[in-house]
């Protein structure tokens, strides 16, 4: 039995109270919407406030009519309908190349799923090469995924429950030298299988398809892949090569990112009404001009 499986079982059977979180733990354990296993796990998970970085451009519950929120809820509706037709609980969100908005799309899709009261969503950062989710939510990077896979912490210690939302975030964790070697461990399949059993949706952020084999591998371990492309950046050749690199035909669809209002509109298109956004990595300098933002991927 793997270390991850042992850690998951211990998390389900043992609840360790920590100072300042007793009220949140009692609430999780008593929530009738949660399965006993998930309630037991969440009882030991640290709760953190929802304080997203402004440049992350995450959707807001208080502004439900904003176009960004509407688009991600439309994507959520389509995926939830698809889930009723076939067993889909875990998805990989990736892109052909960097700076096309995959982390942004993964985070907002998970937030949209978390707005529903029917269950809990998990957002996990499997981009171990350039992780961004901990910066977007302004939480600690470790302990996280790598620490859990290496048996250094139990699953509950690798998770953060976002206060006021039905969402847990698993950050990338401690830096590792060879991410692909770690992702090839049997513990990864076990972990994805177990969290898919516990959470209503599991959304994985992964590296771009054309830069590494990580997303390709993760696509074989999950129920589907969502490909994010960016108008004015992603080429047809890049999309073709990205699709051809996938080992299995489990692509659920494309998310078109970066369109202006009126330029392109469909239920799989994300747009802003006033601005065109440029996605840059944390290492890059801030963009110039008033109509650009430093949104990360």
pLDDT digit string, tens, across residues 264-284: 444 444 433 333 333 343 333
In a domain, 238, yes or no: yes
Q: Look up the pTM and report it.
A: 0.79
The verdict on residue 208 lying in a domain is yes
- Whether the CA torsion 103, 285, 260, 62 is positive or negative: it is positive
Q: Please, which residues bridge with residue 46 across strands? A: 160
Instruction: Confirm whether 28 is domain-assigned.
Output: no
Per the domain annotation, does 194 fall within a domain? yes
What is the number of domains present in the chain? 1
Q: The domain spanning residue 191 has which CATH number? A: 3.40.50.300
For residue range 57-89, list pLDDT tens digits in order.
Answer: 998 875 655 667 888 998 999 999 988 888 899
Residue 75 located in a structural domain: yes
Query: Collapsing DSSP states into helix, strand and coil, what is residue 211?
Result: coil
- Expressed as residue numbers, the domain containing 87 is 49-272
Residue 296 placed within a domain: no
Tokens 């809990």 belong to 120
What is the C-alpha to C-alpha distance for residues 297 and 288, in angstroms, rounded to an integer?
Answer: 17
pLDDT at 60: 80
CB 169 within 8 A of CB 140: no
With H, G, I as helix, E, B as strand and everything else as coil, classify residue 64.
coil
30 within domain boundaries: no
Residue range 157-166: mean pLDDT, rounded: 96
Cβ(153)–Cβ(198) below 8 Å: no
Q: For residue range 83-100, list pLDDT tens digits in order.
A: 888 889 999 999 999 999
Q: Does residue 92 lie in a domain region?
A: yes
Enclosing H/E stretch for 25: helix 22-30
End-to-end CA distance of the chain: 37
Q: List C-alpha distances in Å: 63 to 59, 60, 136, 163.
A: 8, 6, 19, 18
φ, ψ of residue 80 in degrees (nearest 5): -65, -35
């Amino acid at each position: 039995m793997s270390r991850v499986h042992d850690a998951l079982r211990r998390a389900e059977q043992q609840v360790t109270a920590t100072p300042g979180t007793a009220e949140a733990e009692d609430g999780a354990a008593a929530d009738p919407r949660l399965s006993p296993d998930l309630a037991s796990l969440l009882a030991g998970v640290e709760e953190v406030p929802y304080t997203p970085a402004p440049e992350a451009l995450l959707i807001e519950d208080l502004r439900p009519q904003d176009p960004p929120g509407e688009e991600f809820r439309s994507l959520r509706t389509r995926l939830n309908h698809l889930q009723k037709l076939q067993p889909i609980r875990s998805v990989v969100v990736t892109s052909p190349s960097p700076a096309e908005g995959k982390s942004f799309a993964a985070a907002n899709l998970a937030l949209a799923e978390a707005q529903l009261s029917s269950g809990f969503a998990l957002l996990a950062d499997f981009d171990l090469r350039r992780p961004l989710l901990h910066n977007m939510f302004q939480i600690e990077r470790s302990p996280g995924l790598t620490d859990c896979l290496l048996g250094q912490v139990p699953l509950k210690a690798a998770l953060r429950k976002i206060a006021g939302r039905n969402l847990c975030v698993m950050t990338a964790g401690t830096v590792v030298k060879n991410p692909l070697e770690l992702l090839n461990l049997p513990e990864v399949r076990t972990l994805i299988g177990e969290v898919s059993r516990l959470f209503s949706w599991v959304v994985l952020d992964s590296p771009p398809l054309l830069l590494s084999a990580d997303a390709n591998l993760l696509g074989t371990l999950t129920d589907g892949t969502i490909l994010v492309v960016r108008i004015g950046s992603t080429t047809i050749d890049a999309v073709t090569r990205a699709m051809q690199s996938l080992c299995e035909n489990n692509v659920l669809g494309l998310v078109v990112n970066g369109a202006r209002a009126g330029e392109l509109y469909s239920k799989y298109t994300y747009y802003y009404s006033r601005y065109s956004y440029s996605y840059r990595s944390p290492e890059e300098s801030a963009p110039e001009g008033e109509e650009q933002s430093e949104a990360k991927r």
